[in-house]
Structure 1
Amino acid sequence: MNAVRLHAFGPAENLTHERTARPDPAPGQVRIAVAAAGVHLLDTSLRRGVEGPPAPLPDLPTIPGREVAGTVEALGPGTDPAWLGRRVVVHLGFAPGGYAEYAVADAARLHPVPDGLDAAEAVAMIGTGRTTLGILGFADLGPDSVALVPAAAGGIGTLLVQYAKNAGARVVALAGGPAKAALAAANGADLALDYTDPGWAAAVRAHHPGGATVLFDSVGGDTARTALGLLAPGGLHLVFGWSGGPLVLTDAERAGLAARNITTQNVLGPAMLRRADGEDPLRLLESRALAEAAAGRLRPAVSRYPLARAAAAHRDLENRATTGKVVLEP
């Protein structure tokens, strides 16, 4: 089969498109003919050899990728035969193998792809969608809410804007560049601004002098520092990324936030799992995300690349040149 393999940690060029053996499903597993494989920002860190939560570095050589959708074409011993021939989507967890024409997965983790969703959209919801709904479990959005969404043209940002609008909130979307801001506006944001424009904060204050009630922060850095100043007293700062670098606050800035009763919470990892209710919180979030997309309430944005251009997909993602969820298609 064709697959993308990583033989040495380093730049995107280390991802090579090559022939390798097709995997065989173990007991309780299926083999999927992959139609779409998700590319995550975490994949780029692991490719560089940067270890950290939530995923350990893989043994090399490896086939990256942890999210796939396609058709079940073979079963391992003891696997329910009802899965054979079905369109499925699955998050592989910490077991890589998605950047390939075939991948194996535990049958217990499979979800049927709902009618009306293509493989790329299903991949977007199984990973990005589940994270989005996990984040939203910390925010009680309603008509009195003003949601500030940086990186609003990204995979999570796109879904946050849609969900907040469905909840009746007013949405301020921030994106890097006029084209991405226009996408956020088309996605339903009430106010969409280019955060590379030095006047963006003044524009937010002019439209919402009372301040925002919640900041969905995946960027950190100077953008987050400025956005924190736009929160109303009692506002909520939900942190789930730092693509723009870490947010390092001075003692005076921390004291100012405390005086305004601003609550900052990192919502990834154990905090998200505790908030999701159920014996298997990740699977519950996956099911909810797919159901929201099937019902048309959430519509993932997707940037599609051929499997052979995985290196280009990584470069573009790292350079913030993509919109929506990045997906490879064999």
Structure 2
Amino acid sequence: MRIAVRAAGVHLIETAMRAGLPIGPPLPELPAVFGGEVAGTVESVGPDVDPAWIGADVVTPASTSGGYAELAVAELPALHRIPVGLDYPAAAAMIVTGTTTIEVLDIAALTADDVVLVNSAAGGIGRLIVQHARNIGARVIGAAGGRAKVAAVDALGADLAVDYNAPDWTDTVRQAFGDRAVTVVLDGVMGEKGRAAVDLLANGGRYVTYGNASREAFEPDPEKLREQGITVIDALSIMLAGSRAVRDEESRALAAAAEGRMVPTVHTFPLSAAADAHAALENRATTGKVVLVP
């Protein structure tokens, strides 16, 4: 099916692939069109597809031709109709980033009794995690970089929003929460910020990683983990290795956004400014999910 693209998602990992960094996934052969998730309108269909799909508003995580384009091609089984009330950029934001968030949250198994610290809380996944944690009644600390991002996290309803670029940010957390220590860290940054977050964990806490935006190596001290009974959970490895009901999780993510339970913040760039979008991501100058709009 051919889709007239109205919004296409951008990921930090694509900036690393563009730069040729050895990040795990095989690098594409050049020339290449980056991007997978697109939202738009079905323009035409193949010979074995019901023509009633033409004109439908759809979103897919897996355009086979690349998403940074005005037109994209996807197989019918990979399509979802966009729920009523969800626009194209929000649908593009949720179909992969939202689905990943759903999977991370399933793995983290947060409860109302948790005190949750979210690193990179102003990012695409972080903002959704903050909303979910608030919805279930957990106490939430959102850590982000810079005044504007901290204000954005505070506006989401976090119990405490802190600037993790400040040298004393962990002291701020300890002072604010007193004897209610952090029980769960959800970390998409790792590096030194991850190390600082682990130091805030209570005995028996959980350190759940879902990315390494810092591109800094970090392994928690095994002795500290043993002494405090802290569990380290690599959510991405679990997702890649396990049996996943991906289509169901995609539907859950789209429904959560359409119903207002997890609302993505979208930072849009024109398709012609894809290079600017990559630069902004690399410089950590974006808030929420980055989306290209043709």
TM category (shorter chain) comes to: over 0.9
Aligned twin of 1:20? none
- The CA deviation string for residues 151-180 of structure 1, in whole angstroms up to 9 with x for no partner, is 010000000000000011000000000110
Give the corresponding residue for 2:250.
286
* Aligned CA distance change for structure 1 residues 31 and 249 (closer, same or farther; 3 Å): closer
Question: Take 2:58 and 2:7, find their aligned partners in 1: how far apart are those partners?
Answer: 11
Q: CA RMSD in A?
A: 1.5
**Cα distance between partner residues in 2 of 1:313 and 1:237:** 30
Letter paired with 1:301: T
Contact 2:192–2:218 (Cα < 8 Å) also in 1 = no
The Cα shift of 1:38 comes to 0.4
Q: 1:223 to 1:52 in 2, by over 3 A?
A: closer
Tell me if 1:148 matches 2:117: yes
Question: 2:164 and 2:23 mapped to 1: Cα distance?
Answer: 29
Aligned pair partner of 1:174 in 143, 166, 173: 143
Shift, 1:291, TM fit: 0.7
Of residues 62, 65, 71, the one that matches 1:102 is 71
- 2:171 matches 1:207: no
Alignment of 1:1-330 (within 5 A): 30-53=1-24, 55-92=25-62, 95-208=64-177, 209-249=179-219, 253-271=221-239, 274=242, 276=244, 281-330=245-294
- Summarize deviations over 1:119-152 as a string: whole Å, max 9, x none: 0000000011000000001122222111100101
Q: Is the partner of 1:58 in helix, strand or coil? A: coil
CA–CA distance in structure 1, aligned partners of residues 21 and 101 of structure 2: 24
The amino acid that maps onto 2:188 is S
**How far apart are 1:210 and its partner, in Å?**
3.1
The CA distance in 2 between the partners of 1:274 and 1:167, in whole Å, is 26
TM-fit CA distance, 1:269:
4.1
Letter in 2 for 1:84: I
Q: Say if 1:51 and 1:284 are closer, same or farther in 2 by CA, change over 3 A.
A: farther
TM-score (ref. length: structure 2): 0.96
2:261 partner letter: R
For 1:289, the aligned partner's letter is: A
Over residues 162-209 of structure 1, what are the superposed CA-to-partner deviations in whole Å (9 max), with x where a residue is unaligned? 000001100000000011000000011110001111111011111223
Q: In structure 1, what residue type is equivalent to 2:76?
A: A
Q: What TM-score results when the alignment is normalised by the length of structure 1?
A: 0.85
Residues 203-254 of structure 1, C-alpha deviation per residue, up to 9 Å, x if partnerless?
111122331111001111111101101011110011111112334347xx32
Partner-residue secondary structure (3-state), 2:109:
coil
Instruction: Quote the sequence identity (%).
Output: 50
Q: CA deviation at 1:51?
A: 4.2
- Give 5+ residue unaligned stretches, structure 1: 1-29
| Aligned CA distance change for structure 1 residues 137 and 86 (closer, same or farther; 3 Å) | same
CA distance in 1, matches of 2:218, 2:187: 14
Contact 2:103 2:239 in 1 (8 A): no
Between stretches 72-81 and 238-247, larger displacement belongs to 238-247
